[in-house]
Structure 1
Amino acid sequence: MRLRFFLPLLCLLAVTSTATQVAAQDVDPIETATTALDKASDEFRAIDAAYNDRTDAAQAHALQNRAAAVKQSSADQVAALSTQLQLIDARVAQIGPVTPGLVEAPDIRAQRKLLAQQRSTVDSAIKRGKLLGTEADQLATEISQAQANAFSERMSVRVPSPLTSGFWGPFLASFPRDSSLLSGFLKTEIDAIAGGARRGGLLPALAGLIIALVLIGPVRISLRAVGRRYVIERAPGSRIRRSGLALWLTVVGTLVPWLAATVFVNGLQAGEMIAKEWEKLAGGFQIACLIAALISALGGALLQRHQPSWRLIAISDETANRLRPWTFVASGVTMVSFGLLAIRDGVSTSWSAQAMADGLSTALYLALVLGILIGGARIRAQIIRAASAEDDTRGDQSVIAFLSLATWAIVAVSLVSLATGYVAFGHFLSRIIVWVAVVASTLYLGLVSVDDIFSTLFRRDGRLADAFYHGFGVRRSLIDQFGVALSALIRLMLILIAAGLVLFPFGSNIPSLFGQLGTIAKGVTIGQVTVSPGAILRAVAVLLVGMSVVRGFQKWLTGRYLPATELDAGARNSIAMVARYTGLILAVLWAMASLGIGIERIALLLSALSVGIGFGLQAITQNFVSGLILLAERPVKIGDWVVIGDQEGDVKKISVRATEIQIADRSTLIVPNSELITKSILNKTMADAIGRIQLQFSVPLGSDINQVRGIVMAIHEEHPAVLDDPKPSLFIDSIADGRVNFNGFAYVASPRLVYGTRSEIWFRLLTDLPDAGIELGTTPQQVQWIGAPATGAEGVIGTSPPAE
């Protein structure tokens, strides 16, 4: 039964797949790209026709985005056509050039003619696409420049000062007309509400209002409680708990009120209760709710008045309690200011009324900023009086003082601009203070949250690190490093976005940040090499893959192959090191080739750096070459016992720059390789690995020397470290001053055993010879002034001065 059901379905899928493949084969990529260029050209002409001197800021911004889209589409089609042009040239190369005097076959001539036509078509389309992209870029630049000029012109507009009668006279004269226009504007919305209610639009409007109230009240409170409970009970780590809770409260406190405002406005629109003249005001109301909610939510999330231990910023409870009401005031000022500006733009009032609206908005913002500055100054004064002279927070206080001083300066400039009649410029400065504070607070929360989240997610003892370590063998430190690097990258992106948002709402002449990032993303040409982020990522990926391959090969070489050979440890180390550095060089060359840098450019770069290498890197180059000589000739290898100056020890590691020698006190002596090549060293284990013990002592003349010899040889034979081959030996070195001087030799398996074995033999000699009644010692020495009478017994140094 199941087979009967699935067989028709499988047949249908097979037929559909075959039809899709045939359709894909029938599509001509050249025709597709040409058609896309035609559409982009039509779009460009439409944009050019729509843009004029009467275009407002919102329309100009939309046209600029459309021009940028045309430019991007043209670039994409040019890239596709360039690929087709390369394919056509490859087919022409396969046919070969035309041979003079040789008559070609008809099919060859027809194919050559067809390829020539296709090449001409593609070439002309590429040129047209490049020209269209250039024109679109020029149009977008023209629109941006026009916006910048309009902004500058708006900022430079001067009206009579509000402190003079030249401002209030026209305002009072035009007040009746402006009041009538405002009443008509309000009546339009009242009529729209009444008309919508008569047409049955009251139900969707009430539904939107009820849903908005539910979102503002129960839903927002529930979401905040759920976030707190989850962070407290289940979130790991204290850092991510604090930042996660602050981020959650900010998101909920911002998006839920904005969603409620949107639902309310949509309910009114569904009930046809918003007049056409009020649509722009409704849109401004939603934006004002979003920004006001963001200010209030940020204040609550960062200050945490009721949970001081969860506070992200290092301030006291008193400071948090004083600052919190100002966030609500800022939200209210934002709503009132947006309302004033929306009414100003919706009603065609006189210039004096518009200047009055700007002035009122400026006064509200300045009052808000001044209140915060004065309150902050009082709080700082209390902190400074309470803190000691050695308090470590003085650096933070100096930063806050600098920011306060800069804000005071901007407020002063705004007041002067407002007093002198530059109302638009003063209004801009007052708004930008608040907006920069909002963006900076949001950026701070984002930076802290991103760092905490990625540091916790990619920590070396976390679950993700365990999964990668046990599943793929990735080191835990690499997981930790990846988390830090990813956090830094995302934080940098947040900083760039914040820099682009600072002046975005005010129509400033700052170039589009994202447009510049898009240009950089396409690649920056340096000489004949085009470097793009994609190429850099590809080169990094290739380098990582190459290094992984080299590491795996070296692990197999040292762990599997070389132990199966008859080579000693030094030879294995030399082969492994040469293989490692050769692989690393090949991996770097592969990565540079992926970046677009050919071997010939690498050779040119190396030749250009040869002078610098010869002078600045002479010592490094000398050690590098010496290391290669050590690895190749192996005059010193790992495991050798060497003496350098007054130090001796085991060779533990030989790299291309230096050699590590472990000396007797277990410390490591790092010797540059050039020292091992150019200077004399004593290698005790190069030719023969055994060590020699030398014993020099004397006995009185007349002692039984055969007994002495027997005792010494017995001690050698009984000691387990002394070798039987070569045999120990004892020689009479000399007879002097009534004593027989002996010189004995014994051999041990390694020079490392000489010191300890000789000490143990001396212990035995100092015990066995006296037990046998034989005195062990050295020949006494006598020092006497020549020509001076001896003042004491024999062996006592004379104290009289020499005779004249």
Structure 2
Amino acid sequence: MLFRFVRLLLVLVLTVAMPALVLAQTGIPLLGETAQPAAPAPQPSQQTAPQQAAPNGTAQPSQPPVQAAPPAPQAAPVQAQPSDELVAEQQKALKDLVAKTDDFAKQIDDNQEDDSALVEIRTELEDLSRQALGTATVFRPRLTEINARLEQLGPPPAQGQPAEPDIVATERKALTTEKAEINAIVAGAQTLSVRIATMGDKISTLRGELFRKTLTKRYALNDLLSTKLAVDANAEFSNLYSAVSSWFSFVLKFKYQAALAATLMALAAALILHILVRRIFGRIFEPDPAVEEPTYLSRLSAAFWSTLLPTFGLGVFLTLAYFFYDYYAVLRGDIGLFLRSIIGVILIVFCVYRLTNAALSPNVPNWRLIPVESGPARWLVALSTAMAVVLGVNGFLAVVNEQMGSPLSLTVGRSFVATIIVGLILIMMGLVRPFRAKSGEWRPWPAWLRFLAYALGIITIVAALLGYIGFANFLAGQIVVTSTLLITAYIGFLSARAIGAEGGFAETSVGRWIAGRTSLEEGTLDQLGLATSIALNLLIVVVFLPMLLLMWGFQFADIQAWAYRIATGVTVGSVTISLFGILTGLIVFILGYFLTRWFQSWLDDSVMARGKVDTGVRNSIRLVVGYAGMALAAVVGISSAGINLSNLALIAGGLSLGLGFGLQNVVSNFVSGLILLAERPFKVGDWIVAGDVSGTVKKISVRATEIETFQRQSVILPNSNLINSAVGNWTHRNKLGRVEIKVGVAYGSDVRRVHEILLEIARGHQLVLKNPEPFVQFVNFGQNALDFEIRVFLADILNGGSVQNDIRFAIIDAFDKEGIEIPSAPRQQVPHAEKEPWPTDDDKTEALHAEEQAAKEEAERNQPKNRRKPRRPDPT
């Protein structure tokens, strides 16, 4: 039985993947679909056309348009020979399928008591069903051609109308006959598919009744107390010894070299596997005794992997050994069966031993999952292993009894002894006192666990004593094997949950290794841990669920058929959901996503960076490439998943309706984002002013633009606002810009000296450009002061704040030396008042208006004048 576990693990991928690929390439419908017969060609209504005048003036009745359309020379020839051969071939194939179905119906009646035979018959029937549906699908292209041609030919002329050409009538008759034959084959295939489905339901019913009969059948225990049982056992042992010794002698005489080669190859594979596992997973499944307080996640991971990996490695080794012995023809039929059974026993015992050692850790108390004392832990490990050994030996003897046709007394006797021993071991495990209080008193298990062990042990013993050997044997097997699988899976689920918790992955050895060799942030590690947790959960389900099903009476063919159905498609109404298609689509999309990210990085770092492309241009190209790659990956992924994009027309219509109402702003922002990326009125790094927002552009996406103000506040502006409103860009083509510093002096000051001082200060600053040269303008006669304005040009407008600051300090120092007074009275209604700090967050349009006004005043000042303006008298 356990050999089936290993075979399941090796074949599961092929079982899931290959049928879907084959069906996808051949066009054969999935299991459960019904081939739909082609609908007959629509019959257009007869209309009588008016008479038309002939050239000679006589009236002639006009022909209907459909009859006049295909003239005789254009009529397509009848495809007689190829189509007839195809019909005859499929008719013969359908007859063969019907004959095989009849044969399987007889086999069902003959094997109603053989569960394995019933499972094999149902597998063959499912294959026949697929062949029948494939027979129907072969004619789909031909039916499409026939229907299209019949529509071109139109209906036959009605009574009283002129006859159609003979070639057209002959073609229509041939096509109609061929269509009837094809429809008959399709109907026969559908009928056969329905019959096969009915036979499958019958097999399921028979298997259920057989399982219930096995559990409820009562055996007489009279032979157990007689000497006949000992005689039968001695004869059985002699037969087994004779079979094994004869095979061994045959191998030594005739197959010695082949057996030696198979043994050496199996040992070499085991050595390589051992080295690889130790080298790659050594730290995972080997608890470190030096760690005094391992974390809960570390203990869970060690328990899970120390059970799963060694068991899987041993199973691979034993399977390879069996494969090599079988490949070199060393094994005999019965010996091969015995060897598979022994492999199963070894794996069960080893798995139970590893699991109990991992959970109880009698020799490494710090890594113990269950807080029991070391002495009881050793007892529990020994009792659990003994229980697995008893059940394993019982399973091996069952195979021997079945192969050698042993009497019923031996079957009942060995099962009776095994179930009694298992029941006693369960009671002994419930009697163990594993906990010890601080006072030194030993305490038992919790009440619910202790009474559960008692109940299971007593039920097993009582069922065996009453003669219900099948039920007792089944219960004992489930107690050991199912419990082992469930506990291992539960530990795996706990480990996956701990890894997926916040900060859990970073505490693992793998997480620490990744963090030490990469620059991933903590949030990225958490996301990686979540993905690892999901992958572990899926792995546990895929591995342990088939094993549990096999333990509960299901056959490998059952699981194979279910996996095939899930992989190739489950039909819900008119929708077919294919797990294989969905996984394929996801894989294609993920590959496209990472390929797009790689291409973005390569284009940005290796192409545009070397070409000294502007940062804003690089960002725009990077975004466009990213969105295009993601869209392409999504389309290819959807197509790979088997979803017809034409079926999304209804969704597109619904989206169009939604766009007309609730998604107007979203679409407007999206289109505006595309316009911004194409026209590039501003780019990343530019200093822009949009309404009340002023700052540096940090990111441009298709929905919104992120602006960081000079107070380090991030403002998200919808793109439509930037398209529909005025936007000022201080660094559009370059960073050259002009700044103004306003200053007022008291009435009575020497304005010409003030002008010279201010111009000297402006020219003396190292960041002020010489060309265009600085300029000082006498702006206005204010209420309390004479207003001046310094205008300087900077190579980088972003340095305006520091330049203004330096010039103001220089003005204060120079005015103090010259004795020039700056009025301290507050000024009111001063036009173009200066704003602080630099750069400001106010609307830069006001600065533009100020610049226009200053330019107008400067133009007026530069006009030729014949007289100077009189100086205002001193009010003192």
TM-score normalised over the length of structure 1: 0.66
Among residues 339, 345, 365, which one is paired with 2:422 in the alignment?
365
Determine whether 1:68 maps to 2:116: no
Identify if the C-alpha distance between structure 1 residues 572 and 487 changes in structure 2 by more than 3 Å, giving closer, same or farther.
closer
Aligned to 2:777: 730
Q: How does 1:131-170 map to 2 (within 5 A)?
A: 131-156=191-216
Q: Distance in 1 between matches of 2:577 and 2:489?
A: 30
Aligned to 2:434: 378
Q: Report the CA distance between 1:706 and its aligned residue.
A: 1.7
Q: Report the CA distance between 1:655 and its aligned residue.
A: 1.1
Q: Report the CA distance between 1:650 and its aligned residue.
A: 1.4
SS in 2 for 1:128: helix
Q: Is the 8 A contact 2:306 2:354 kept in 1?
A: no
Output the aligned Cα RMSD: 6.3
Q: Distance in 1 between matches of 2:603 and 2:273?
A: 54
Q: How does 1:636-655 map to 2 (within 5 A)?
A: 638-643=684-689, 648-655=694-701
Aligned to 1:779: 824
Larger RCO, structure (CA 8 Å, separation 6 or more): 2
Letter in 1 for 2:349: I
Q: How does 1:711-730 map to 2 (within 5 A)?
A: 711-723=757-769, 724-725=771-772, 727-730=774-777
Q: Report the CA distance between 1:671 and its aligned residue.
A: 3.3
SS in 2 for 1:51: helix
* Residue-by-residue CA offset, 1:334-367 (whole Å, 9 max, x unaligned): 24533676698765558xx977765543332223
Q: Distance in 1 between matches of 2:325 and 2:735?
A: 92
Q: Distance in 2 between matches of 1:497 and 1:536?
A: 20
Unaligned runs of 5+ in 2: 1-81, 157-162, 288-301, 500-505, 828-876
Identify if the C-alpha distance between structure 1 residues 245 and 777 changes in structure 2 by more than 3 Å, giving closer, same or farther.
same
Q: Distance in 2 between matches of 1:552 and 1:735?
A: 64
Give identity over the alignment, percent: 23
Q: Is the 8 A contact 1:703 1:774 kept in 2?
A: no
Determine whether 1:670 maps to 2:736: no
Determine whether 1:514 maps to 2:570: no
Among residues 165, 171, 186, which one is paired with 1:103 in the alignment?
165
Aligned to 1:788: none
* Residue-by-residue CA offset, 1:248-283 (whole Å, 9 max, x unaligned): 7435655777999999999xx9999x9xxxx9xx95
Among residues 729, 732, 740, which one is paired with 1:694 in the alignment?
740
Aligned to 2:569: 523
Q: Distance in 2 between matches of 1:94 and 1:285?
A: 64
Determine whether 1:763 maps to 2:819: no
Letter in 1 for 2:426: V
Aligned to 1:78: 133
Q: Distance in 2 between matches of 1:534 and 1:340?
A: 41
Q: Report the CA distance between 1:436 and its aligned residue.
A: 0.9
Determine whether 1:291 maps to 2:291: no
Letter in 2 for 1:299: Y
Letter in 2 for 1:103: P
Determine whether 1:203 maps to 2:249: yes
Letter in 2 for 1:138: T
Letter in 1 for 2:560: F
Aligned to 2:102: 45
Identify if the C-alpha distance between structure 1 residues 309 and 603 changes in structure 2 by more than 3 Å, giving closer, same or farther.
farther
Q: Report the CA distance between 1:710 and its aligned residue.
A: 0.9
Identify if the C-alpha distance between structure 1 residues 703 and 750 changes in structure 2 by more than 3 Å, giving closer, same or farther.
same
Q: Is the 8 A contact 1:208 1:263 kept in 2?
A: no
SS in 2 for 1:653: strand
Among residues 296, 311, 327, which one is paired with 1:250 in the alignment?
311
Letter in 2 for 1:755: G
Q: Is the 8 A contact 2:570 2:578 kept in 1?
A: yes
Q: Distance in 2 between matches of 1:495 and 1:383?
A: 41
Determine whether 1:183 maps to 2:236: no
Q: Distance in 2 between matches of 1:196 and 1:736?
A: 123
Q: Is the 8 A contact 1:240 1:449 kept in 2?
A: no
Unaligned runs of 5+ in 1: 1-24, 160-169, 387-397, 467-476, 783-804
Aligned residues: 697
Q: Report the CA distance between 1:716 and its aligned residue.
A: 1.8
Q: Distance in 2 between matches of 1:435 and 1:144?
A: 25
Aligned to 2:749: 703
Q: How does 1:316-465 map to 2 (within 5 A)?
A: 318=374, 321-338=378-395, 349=408, 358-375=415-432, 378=434, 410=456, 414=460, 424-440=470-486
Q: Report the CA distance between 1:48 and its aligned residue.
A: 1.3
Q: Report the CA distance between 1:690 and its aligned residue.
A: 5.0
Q: Is the 8 A contact 1:731 1:744 kept in 2?
A: no
Aligned to 1:21: none
Identify if the C-alpha distance between structure 1 residues 744 and 500 changes in structure 2 by more than 3 Å, giving closer, same or farther.
same
Identify if the C-alpha distance between structure 1 residues 250 and 188 changes in structure 2 by more than 3 Å, giving closer, same or farther.
closer
* Residue-by-residue CA offset, 1:666-700 (whole Å, 9 max, x unaligned): 66443344665688876555799654423233344
Q: Report the CA distance between 1:523 and its aligned residue.
A: 1.7
Q: Report the CA distance between 1:492 and its aligned residue.
A: 2.5
Q: Report the CA distance between 1:126 and its aligned residue.
A: 3.5
Aligned to 2:831: none
Q: Is the 8 A contact 1:661 1:669 kept in 2?
A: yes
Q: Distance in 2 between matches of 1:515 and 1:384?
A: 59
Identify if the C-alpha distance between structure 1 residues 26 and 404 changes in structure 2 by more than 3 Å, giving closer, same or farther.
farther
Q: Distance in 2 between matches of 1:529 and 1:406?
A: 46
Q: Report the CA distance between 1:761 and its aligned residue.
A: 1.5
Q: Is the 8 A contact 1:181 1:349 kept in 2?
A: no
Identify if the C-alpha distance between structure 1 residues 636 and 561 changes in structure 2 by more than 3 Å, giving closer, same or farther.
same
Q: Report the CA distance between 1:286 and its aligned residue.
A: 5.1
Q: Is the 8 A contact 2:596 2:630 kept in 1?
A: yes
Identify if the C-alpha distance between structure 1 residues 185 and 601 changes in structure 2 by more than 3 Å, giving closer, same or farther.
same
Aligned to 1:9: none
Letter in 2 for 1:729: V
Letter in 2 for 1:769: F
SS in 2 for 1:651: strand
Q: Report the CA distance between 1:651 and its aligned residue.
A: 1.5
Q: Is the 8 A contact 1:698 1:777 kept in 2?
A: yes
* Residue-by-residue CA offset, 1:567-618 (whole Å, 9 max, x unaligned): 9986886687567646655654555455555555423224446777788878
SS in 1 for 2:134: helix
Q: Report the CA distance between 1:515 and its aligned residue.
A: 2.4
Q: How does 1:567-646 map to 2 (within 5 A)?
A: 581=627, 584-585=630-631, 588-589=634-635, 591-592=637-638, 595=641, 597-598=643-644, 601-608=647-654, 623-624=669-670, 627-628=673-674, 638-643=684-689
SS in 1 for 2:740: strand
Q: Report the CA distance between 1:708 and its aligned residue.
A: 1.8
Aligned to 1:303: 357
Q: Is the 8 A contact 1:75 1:130 kept in 2?
A: no
Q: Distance in 2 between matches of 1:35 and 1:486?
A: 53
Q: Distance in 2 between matches of 1:227 and 1:559?
A: 42
Q: Report the CA distance between 1:295 and its aligned residue.
A: 1.8
Q: Report the CA distance between 1:713 and its aligned residue.
A: 0.8
Q: Distance in 2 between matches of 1:731 and 1:686?
A: 31
Q: Is the 8 A contact 1:728 1:747 kept in 2?
A: no
Q: Report the CA distance between 1:139 and its aligned residue.
A: 1.8
Identify if the C-alpha distance between structure 1 residues 154 and 597 changes in structure 2 by more than 3 Å, giving closer, same or farther.
closer
Q: Report the CA distance between 1:52 and its aligned residue.
A: 2.9
Higher normalized helix content (fraction of residues): 1
